[in-house]
Structure 1
Amino acid sequence: MAAMLSTQTRPDDAPAADAPATLDAAGLQALASGAVARGAGKASDARARRGPFRPEVWLNARQRHASRLAAHWFRAIDGLAVIALTLLCAAVVSPSGLLGAPLSAIMPFVIGAVVLLAALKGSGVYGFSRNRRLVVHMGLVSASAAGAGLVAVLLAVLLAPALTGAVLVWSGLNLIVLYGLHMVWCERVRGWRADGTLTPNVVVVGATKHAEKLIREALQRRDLNVLGVFDDRLARSPDSVEGVPVLGDTEALLTHRMTPYVDHIVLAVDPAARERVRDLMRRLGGLPNEVTLLVDPKAAEDRNAALEKLARAPLASLSNPDPDRAAFNKRLQDLIIGGLMLIGLMPVFAVVALMVRLDSPGPILFRQRRHGFNNEEIVVWKFRSMRHEAADATASRQVTADDDRITRVGRFLRATSLDELPQLINVLKGEMSLVGPRPHAIGMKTGQIESARLVAEYAHRHRIKPGMTGWAAIKGSRGPLHTAAEVRRRVQLDVDYVERQSFWLDLWIMAVTVPVLLGDRVAVR
């Protein structure tokens, strides 16, 4: 495998791009402390500090979000189990088979199944509330199954009395299966809570009295992690706030290696200082992380309500409209379509790999560190299209027409976008999506300036997973970016997509991608 990979060099102090996505507390604390620039003595002390909220295992926002979507997976599996039992029982009681069964024979099962699934959702069991005991949760599951069974039995008595016994068996089987499934679901959620997977990570901006109260209350509740504090007034700010280390100023937060692990940025400054709040909101608006202004409440119950809002919904809500439902649908779309594409395109993979191998010496695959969801660093796979010795892993020199680094086969691969096919692996791993903003190389430059510094909203494109194709790609903005105007147009198109994303828009973008790319003779790729 080593001979097939083209890798990049990196500074010795940077973490490996293809290292495991989880870091231990000491490892990320070293990253956090490294950003503190207060002199050699204080930096050394900072590296040894550990805040009171340090989790045992660090999971980035994408990984924790995937766990939050488990509620949708649990409900889907429950639904499939109920449907399978319903079809099986309806088929068994009908001598002529399911298709030949009279409507009166299958109606009790069908109506009962609909009532059961609706009752499970309506009872709130998929919320897996932190304060709900297991016996209460299982009681709600039992009540849902019993209620649906009662409806089905009543229908059977009215429509097909001979099937009453079969409907009772169906109801009992549903209860047993759902009881077993929800024991597994509850244990899985309990494990996630125990290891911190469902605990939101926040950083606080402002080493103020508001921050002290927030951290003090959070220590008592233990349902959110405060990873660090950032304050522009470093000269008069303490080294830590209630044991949580001060890691630098706001500028340090903008480029901090901790940001992919952060769910919320909390402004703990006096809301009356409107000019300062506006300035901080403007500067932090360039990050993909959610920013919340903490208004200091006077009463203890109000403070608890504010913290509850930050720590709420460890699992995604099933209500509509719900952005987590859209994320679940998008992930399901990626797994089904991406898996079928990977299987169907295996012959193409083999032919392209052979062409690359025969065309020029070097590995078949090329990998590059790029920005993913929430500024996470991911390793993106491609078929190698450049001469191995001229490969540019950081995109410091973008591709131009008649670029002498591109091989003969590479020119064909780039023109047809076949070099992007290995990114199906990234899609199935959950690092990318089939549709989304194209992932840019970390440190990519436009001219002599890093592209991310040309547009304030650049990081907004990282509020969703990057994609193999996207809105910008089918609108003509693809390939290298040579001017600031091209960067601004790409970012605007990407932000438009992030705000409009839907299941049907993704399907349409996928449908038009191939004809649009093959019909484009202008864009340099």
Structure 2
Amino acid sequence: MRDLPGPVGVEPPAPATEGGSTPSFVRWTQGMINRLVGVSDLVLFLIAAAILANPPVALLESGLQLPQMAVISLAELLVYVSVHERLGGYRVERYADPLAAFLFLLAGLAPALLVSLVLLWTFLPSALWQAQWLLGWHLLLLALLMLGRLLQRWLIGVAARRRLLRRRVVVVGTGPVAEAAVRALREDPAAYEIRGIYRLEDEPRTEEVAGMPVRGDLAALGEYATAHTIDIVVLALPQVSEAIGLMEAVSWIAADVVIPFERPETSPSFAAIMPLGRLRSLQVLSRPFKGTQGLLKVMEDYVVASVALIVLSPLMLLAAVAIRLEGPGPILFRQRRPGFGRRPFSIYKFRTMKVNPHDDATTGTTGPSDPRVTRVGSVLRRLSIDELPQLLNVLKGEMSIVGPRPYVANMLVGNERFSDLVNQYAERHRIKPGLTGYAQAHGMRSYALRSPENARRSIEMDLHYMTHWSLWMDLKIMLRTLLVGLAGRNVF
């Protein structure tokens, strides 16, 4: 977790962007909408159950006790959701048609009502003597769910008009496979939006593909991807093996990477099959934190960072006073680091080293005896207090609480650049960098920079985190950081 602060106040310019846009970490998907609709159904069930517990009209007087109503409501909810999912009711196209939405709601509520009747007949038959409350409750529940569907239909219409669900696509290649991919994507403009076509260096300088202009080479793609959101990268090359060889060049882009192929009988086991309009494609890389996962990750970051800033503000104030009393120089320093999508951002830390405007920040600290570290800085580093200002980076949306460590762009491991030493280094930029991370919580803080073996191991840990993420995993990393990762011999 320890990186050497470079020249204080000296920041290289950010790459040029079109319209000042930035890559989006959270992106709307149909899966996210379906999960949000499911959550809204849960909320409406709870509202209906609360109304049943405190009925405003005599029609809903059930005579049931609170535990009994809770059991009935939970059983119905489980049956409704299970049947609704099995019938395909949680699909965006279902919400767009009011009649279809109504029929799917009936199909889910009918077996739920049957379950209630069976439970009451078995355990509380007296409640069925005057069962008008049961009919009234289900009519209320149906009305609430239908109102929810109408509201969801309107919101989906707004999302469609704002093109929130269209997937932004770039195509790499200018040959016949690229032409077929472009034509297939243009047949479904509601689902796909082609943002650019890019050629390889050894391809002819074609000006357009299937009537769409070629925007440049892979370098131009890199500039565009740094500044804009991309959902799908299509590697449209004549041979699948050629496209696979190109994966490393685009592995840092936070997007699904697919390879279209023509032979319908091909069903490889090493990659998922993903439709690309009327074409089939191999999905060789999947975008991390897709849909709901990205939303949960962002919510986690803002909640944890806000609480941590409130709790730790006295400690941060003491650290600032100690730095100021020790001698001249800024309390905080800012340093440019490549972040999500390789876009540079200014990382914040408490200053722990003597100001040296000529230090290029490519060499990490050598340990506690490093003469560049101040006395106060040594204490701050030992206790990881110098990292706390990065909570501000989290609230700015530039970092996450948990994620890969954002190293200096040209950080050295021995005599080699970290990014050159490990082939998969670039994939770390597919997610936001973190204040702590899986590698850092398991002993790979400054030690990741001490040897090539440690460097490779730390990247393996980062990739493991990206592919196995869960909220529980983040919680374990944060707890491990608090208990064993904030201090010790591997921290400095």
TM-score category, normalised to shorter length: 0.7 to 0.9
Q: Is the 8 A contact 1:286 1:456 kept in 2?
A: no
Does the residue aligned with 1:413 lie in a helix, a strand or coil? Answer: helix
Residues 67 and 198 in structure 1, CA contact (< 8 A), matched pair in contact too: yes
Q: What SS does the corresponding residue of 1:232 show, helix, strand or coil? A: coil
CA distance in 1, matches of 2:47, 2:234: 46
| Aligned position for 1:35 | none
**Structure-2 change in CA distance of 1:495 and 1:245 (3 Å):** same
Give the aligned partner of residue 19 of structure 1: none
Task: Give the letter for the 1:205 counterpart.
Answer: V
> 1:257-296, aligned counterparts within 5 Å?
257-258=224-225, 261-271=229-239, 276-281=242-247, 283-284=249-250, 289-296=255-262
Q: 1:128 aligns with which of 50, 71, 92?
A: 92
Give 1:398's aligned amino acid: G
* Alpha-carbon distance, 1:336 to partner: 5.0
Measured against aligned partners, the alpha-carbon deviations of 1:391-432 in whole angstroms (never above 9, x if no partner) come to: 97x743433434455444333222222232333344456543
Q: Deviations over 1:148-172 (max 9, x none)?
A: 6633763586331367344344334
Give the structure 2 partner of residue 39 of structure 1.
Answer: none
User: Identity over aligned residues, as a percent?
Assistant: 29
How far 1:351 moved relative to its partner? 3.8
Structure 2 partner of 1:62: 25
Shift of 1:493: 2.3
The structure 2 residue matched to 1:211, chosen from 157, 175, 178, is: 178
Q: Is the 8 A contact 1:212 1:241 kept in 2?
A: yes
Alignment of 1:14-163 (within 5 A): 14-15=15-16, 26-27=18-19, 60-64=23-27, 69-90=32-53, 101=65, 104-129=68-93, 133-136=96-99, 138-140=101-103, 142-143=105-106, 146-147=109-110, 150-151=113-114, 154=117, 158=121, 159=124, 160-161=127-128
| 1:106/1:69 CA distance change after superposition, 3 Å | closer
Displacement of 1:308: 5.8
Q: Is the 8 A contact 1:288 1:375 kept in 2?
A: no
Structure with a larger share of its residues in helix:
1
* 1:203 maps to amino acid: V
Q: Partners of 1:517 and 1:133 in 2: how far apart?
A: 50
Alignment of 1:34-433 (within 5 A): 60-64=23-27, 69-90=32-53, 101=65, 104-129=68-93, 133-136=96-99, 138-140=101-103, 142-143=105-106, 146-147=109-110, 150-151=113-114, 154=117, 158=121, 159=124, 160-161=127-128, 164-222=131-189, 223-233=191-201, 236-250=204-218, 253=221, 255-258=222-225, 261-271=229-239, 276-281=242-247, 283-284=249-250, 289-296=255-262, 306-307=276-277, 330-331=297-298, 333-334=300-301, 336-360=303-327, 364-386=331-353, 390=357, 395-401=361-367, 402-427=369-394, 431-433=398-400
Q: Secondary structure at the match of 1:345?
A: helix
Task: Give unpaired runs (5+ residues) of structure 1.
Answer: 1-5, 16-22, 29-57, 317-321
Which residue in the other structure is 1:50 paired with? none
Measure how far apart 1:458 and its partner are.
0.5
Q: Return the offset for 1:520.
A: 1.8
Report if aligned partners of 2:262, 2:280 keep a CA contact under 8 Å in 1. Answer: no
Per-residue CA deviation, residues 304-324 of structure 1 (Å, 9 max, x unaligned), is: 95326889xxxx9xxxxx976
Letter in 2 for 1:109: S
Pairwise CA distance, 1:78: 3.3
Q: 1-side partners of 2:148 and 2:376: how far apart?
A: 52
Structure 1 position 438, deviation (Å): 1.6
Alignment partners' CA distance in 2, 1:141 and 1:391:
68
Go from structure 1 to structure 2 and tell me whether the alpha carbon gap of 1:373 and 1:521 turns closer, same or farther (over 3 Å shift): same
Q: Which SS does the other structure have where 1:214 is aligned?
A: helix
Q: For the residues of structure 2 that align with 1:330 and 1:493, how far apart are their CA atoms?
A: 19
* Number of matched pairs: 457
State whether residues 153 and 168 of structure 1, in contact with CA within 8 Å, keep that contact through their aligned partners in structure 2: no
Seen in structure 2, the aligned counterparts of structure 1 residues 84 and 412 have a Cα distance that, compared at 3 Å, is: farther
Cα displacement string for residues 425-477 of structure 1 (whole angstroms, at most 9, x for unaligned residues): 44456543332222223444446754322221102223443322222112321
Output the CA distance in 2 between the equivalents of 1:163 and 1:362.
Answer: 80
The amino acid across from 1:513 in the alignment is: T
SS of 1:76's equivalent in the other structure is helix
Equivalent residue in structure 2 for 1:434, among 401, 409, 429: 401
Amino acid at match of 1:151: L
Shift of 1:357: 4.8
Query: What letter corresponds to residue 280 of structure 1 in structure 2?
Result: L
- Residue 445 of structure 2 aligns to a residue in which SS? coil
| 8 Å Cα contact 2:320/2:350 also seen in 1 | yes
Distance 1:405 1:69, change over 3 A: farther
Q: Are the counterparts in 2 of residues 211 and 241 from structure 1 also a CA contact under 8 Å?
A: yes
Corresponding position of 2:456: 488
Q: CA 1:61/1:391 → structure 2, altered by over 3 Å: closer, same or farther?
A: farther
With 464-473 and 289-298 compared, the bigger mean Cα shift is at 289-298
Distance 2:292 2:100 in 1: 22
CA distance in 1, matches of 2:164, 2:97: 20
Superposition pairs of residues 468-487 of structure 1, within 5 angstroms: 468-479=435-446, 481=449, 483-487=451-455
Looking at structure 1, the residues matched to 333 and 107 of structure 2 have their Cα atoms a distance apart, in angstroms, of 53
Q: In the alignment, which residue of structure 1 is the partner of 2:483?
A: 515
Q: Which amino acid aligns with 2:19?
A: G
SS in 1 for 2:131: helix
Q: Which amino acid aligns with 2:256?
A: E
**Separation (CA, whole Å) in 2 of partners of 1:169 and 1:361:** 75
CA positional deviation for 1:215: 1.5
Residue identity matched to 1:189: I
Q: Amino acid of the residue matched to residue 422 of structure 1?
A: P
Kept in 2: contact 1:443–1:451 (CA 8 A): yes
CA RMSD of aligned residues (A): 4.1
**Partner SS for 2:449:** coil
Helix, strand or coil: the match of 1:62? coil
Residue identity opposite 2:23 in structure 1: N
- 1:52 matched residue in structure 2: none
Contact preservation (8 Å) 2:12, 2:336: no
Distance 1:69 1:357 in 2: 48
Q: Is the contact made by 2:252 and 2:429 (CA closer than 8 Å) also made in structure 1?
A: no
- 1:499 matched to which residue of 2? 467
Asked if the contact 2:176/2:238 (under 8 Å) is kept, the reply is no
Q: Aligned to 1:256, what secondary structure does the other structure show?
A: helix
